[in-house]
Structure 1
Amino acid sequence: MRAIQTEKEYKAICARIEELLAVVGNDTPVTDQNFIELDLLSDLAADYEESKDPLQKPLLTDVIRLRMHERELNQKRLSELLGVSTSRVSEYLTGKTEPTLKVAREISLKLDIDPAVVLGV
């Protein structure tokens, strides 16, 4: 199967995907013609999107801010949770310094952030 070459092809495939999403549901058998077509077109569209705008690794500062928002934590509460000063948390959030391995472990465990993100790998 060939890859999507142009934006026009991509838009046409996205339109077809939308049509198929209206027909295919969670209970649709994987052998159903519409399911198979949706699966193939979705893979093509995802490959095209990745080639045009590859996903960037999330920055630790952004992930920490997201978790703070989700858990309604302020810098003071986060500093208490991690066992560091509020000024140190501020430095992590601005990217001025990176957490030590011990603090990185705490960030991963207590904020439920993937260790690969915390370690930047």
Structure 2
Amino acid sequence: MKLVTHQEYVNAIIRLDLLLKEIDNKTSEDHPQMLELVEVSDIIENYEEAHFPIGLPTLQEMIELRMFEMGLKRKDLATLLNTSASRISEYLNGKREITLTIAKALHQKLNIDSDIILQ
């Protein structure tokens, strides 16, 4: 991955904007402007990954997101994970580390990525 300067990044954004006005979904992948679009996009991506990295969400954030998505309250989550509501509160408030059994249940029943659980 090539190091990208701020000026190269700004230039790439300006060029990307212009290219997006000139090409469309019907432009072939081997068209020079389409190839330039890919190159400019790579420059932008490299700069943003280096300067604006997006980290993994915390386990607590993921649990709360899944609870929201599934319409679960803490007591519902406790039932689903076969634990108590007070234990769920301790996990969510960071007062207790999750157990291996709860980690497995979070992965299997809430589909939380293991990388998030293990961080």
1:73-84 to structure 2, matched below 5 A, reads 73-84=72-83
The CA distance in 2 between the partners of 1:24 and 1:4, in whole Å, is: 27
Asked if residue 107 in structure 1 is aligned to residue 106 in structure 2, the reply is yes
Q: Residues 9, 96 of structure 1: CA spacing in aligned structure 2 closer, same or farther, 3 A cutoff? A: same
Higher relative contact order (CA 8 A, sep 6+): 2
Q: Deviations over 1:43-78 (max 9, x none)?
A: 111111121122222210111111111111111111
Distance (whole Å) between structure 1 residues aligned to residue 61 and residue 20 of structure 2: 32
What is the CA RMSD across the aligned residues, in angstroms?
2.1
Partner of 1:66 in structure 2? 65
Give the total of aligned pairs.
118
User: Are 1:95 and 2:94 counterparts?
Assistant: yes
Aligned to 2:4: 4
TM-score, length basis structure 1: 0.83
Give the Cα–Cα distance (whole angstroms) in 1 for the partners of residues 20 and 85 of structure 2.
48
Which 5+ residue runs of structure 1 have no aligned equivalent?
none
Which residue identity does 1:57 align to in structure 2?
L
Percent identity over the alignment is 38
Q: Give the match for residue 118 of structure 2.
A: 119
- Name the TM-score, length of structure 2 as normaliser: 0.84
Question: Which ranges in structure 2 are unaligned for 5 or more consecutive residues?
Answer: none
The offset of 1:28, in angstroms, is: 4.3
